[in-house]
Chain A
């Protein structure tokens, strides 16, 4: 395990030394700052002051809205946005981990140590995932604290969104690693992974697409691809549903969890397995 942790530590040292991590946290900080400024606007302050005076309701568009539900609505909207932002930033900050490892003059240094190739690859994967988790915690934690500071209302379920996002990142990062092992290119790895993320989201409307295509064969292919690829759109919906609670949360009950989480998890596992298999058989 010493070798494993040394490799994970190196991922963090690399990340802290490179501009990617700085950009990763800077973008996240910018988002947090924008959010902090938004909740500090006079109109928000006024509404909140009214809510404190007249009980836990605020008037929005002539309608009285429960303060607790309003905050939850904010958090739900943000969790959906963070799903996209968090996933894209995490992939951008970690997709280089394999291509850089495989560079000539670098890979020899690592593989000449008594560490199995699969273990080495997995340590980089875990390092990348921990990095993404740290950033998600920073994003979710900061926004949650701002909301608590401003409203005094705390919804711990907001963090459930972070867990689902991390799950999605884990599957997509495994795929980015597979492409990284095969092509040794960060750019290709990122492009293909983002393309799959967006394409898989489109496939959530598989039935509509299948109905629009001319042949049965194409319709079958669309449905098959839906089951092969991660359920990126559904994961986004699951994030929102888990954070929102109430009626929206009940919609989470209607999500086919096995299909969404099971097939996405399987996609990630297969991608990681293939990456490890290819990496362990590669000549350097």
Chain B
């Protein structure tokens, strides 16, 4: 549903004397029912990518399509809902008027909107504010209204830039649930957020951007898995068991009552399990050790910076 290939964007400073490379060959694709997270430090190119996908900015090179339609064609946005970061709805409109105007701008009939608007505002928790002017809304409420405006024409693709910005913890959970619900209805969702915990809880796949390039891309489980490290809860644990594990070549650490084992491969791990069971051990947990998404993100960004420093030297 969303596809981008080799996206490059170079911004020219005044009179073209200075050029800034915002994107440098981005490839990504998001399919139906998938929640895809776009991560990256400030200036990594996340917003530029989203803006190119919406035709707000033209790529210097590369191509992007929505539903197979080039993004330069307004028709590609027929079934797209967008929530920009720092959006400013006209303060003089009420929530109902806002959704009516933006719904009709997406081709909806007035009669359809009459029933859809109250239903949608109820879904985002703004039922009581339906006829109140937007200028009276708090930041969290404006964000909820933005989400309703993105959903008003029942789009099949959602592009959301910091959707939980300014929203309280309960509201965040509601928005997360709403997004998962939309994904379960087959909607493709591209989420751009600085809140890594939000991304971790909501997304199926992520791409980490760094200086306009994709530094890493994949399923969160794959990105956060630490290869050959496993957490094992077994009892009883005695020194002879640990010695047997070490003798097999495994790394062993005791952490909060668990064992953290570093193995060569899955076969080695299975051999360790056999050893523990042969000694009368009862296994209550065995799971791969994962990093948090934040650890992965920071590592990727720092590694990139270190490489650059080396190149400079």
Contacts and interface: CB of A to CB of B under 8 A. Distances in A.
B55 interface: yes
Interface string B163-203: 00000000000000000000000000000000000000000
Interface residues of B, number: 34
Interface centre among B76, B102, B104, B107 (most CB of A within 10 A): B104
A111 B56 contact: yes
B130 interface: no
Nearest to A123: B105
Interface string B283-295: 0000000000000
A9 B11 CA distance: 35
A116 B88 CA distance: 21
B101 A111 contact: no
Given A5-B104, A9-B101, A114 B56 contact: no
Contacts of B84: 105, 108-109, 112
Contact of B86 (A6, A7, A104, A284): A104
A283 B88 contact: no
The majority secondary structure among interface residues of chain A is helix
Interface centre among A3, A103, A112, A281 (most CB of B within 10 A): A112
Interface residues of A, number: 29
23 contacts: A2-B107, A2-B109, A3-B107, A7-B101, A9-B101, A10-B93, A13-B92, A14-B90, A104-B86, A104-B88, A108-B56, A108-B82, A109-B84, A109-B88, A110-B105, A112-B159, A113-B105, A113-B106, A114-B75, A114-B77, A115-B74, A283-B11, A283-B57
Leading 5 A-B pairs by shortest Cβ distance: A17-B92, A6-B104, A112-B82, A105-B88, A108-B84
Given A6-B102, A114-B80, 16 more contacts: A3-B104, A3-B105, A6-B101, A9-B101, A10-B90, A16-B92, A104-B88, A107-B56, A108-B51, A111-B54, A112-B77, A112-B82, A113-B102, A114-B75, A283-B56, A283-B57
